Amino acid sequence: MRLRIGTRGSALALWQAEHVKARLAALGQAADVVPITTTGDRLLDRRLELVGGKGAFLKEIEEALLDERVDIAVHSLKDVPTALPPGLHLAAFLERADPRDALVSASGARLAQLPKGARLGTTSLRRQAQIRAQRADLEVLDLRGNVDTRLRKVREGQYDAILLAAAGLARLGRAAEATEILEPDVMLPAPGQGAIVIECRAGDERSARAIAPLDHHATGRCVLAERSFLAGLGGGCNVPLGAYAEESGHEVWLRALVARADGSLVLRGECRDSDAAAAGRRLAEDLLARGAAALVHPA
């Protein structure tokens, strides 16, 4: 039987779904891509937290999965909340691509070289807070739309620079347009950034067997630490936060931050643990105890 792959209809989402389709075909499993328009795609003129957060990019796809109109769903992991609808689970994590953020500037200036008052576009609270903490002299503006739309706006001069995920640029064949790739100590990535995940119905053994060979153990271990940190803070809270884990010998090295949106306070921490989930929980508890609780759950 052919697997039906549910996905958003953006160019990047379709690339990811077609990538999974090709990987499955190499294993002898036929599949078809089924594009689905989500709430997040329809309401591009509003901030994400006002239309359901990043889960707004999943709602209709997960409904199709639960209704058995598709067999699997392919997502950017950074868009997936820690709490999934009953009856669904994350079944396979593909090997992670570059997790870092990329700066694209109209002039070719790097982040440190942007002139005072330069207009920098990003709707991500995580990116906004970290930029404001480092470059309070920049004008940080909201920027919604797909990758092509964002790149067009910087070319047209609506922004002097924009921030995007490096993996998204690379997947669309536009990596050369990045002016600078920002290291994690400059711009800590979002939990799960750069990773593609496949979601399934619980109990659907046929689909689970078909995608099992695509699962990358090291990626799964690292993103488990990141998502455990996110869950430890209270799930998909709409506060600026970042988390990035790497394997370090037999341990996972996790770095994370929670910040005020204006960048006036950035709480950072890190930990190492052989238990990935424990690393995330420990670091969440540490940052909550050091003041993150007031940011995550303001009075």
- Measured CA to CA, the distance from residue 258 to residue 231 in angstroms comes to 13
What is the rounded distance in angstroms from the CA atom of residue 76 to the CA atom of residue 196? Answer: 5
Nearby residues of 250 by Cβ (< 8 Å), 6 or more positions away: 274
Q: CA quadruple 196, 198, 6, 46: dihedral positive or negative?
A: negative
Q: How far apart are CA 172 and CA 82, in angstroms?
A: 27
Q: Catalytic residue numbers?
A: 79
DSSP state, residue 168 = H
- Among residues 209, 193, 279, the alpha carbon closest in space to that of 242 is found at 193
What is the SS3 assignment for 211? helix
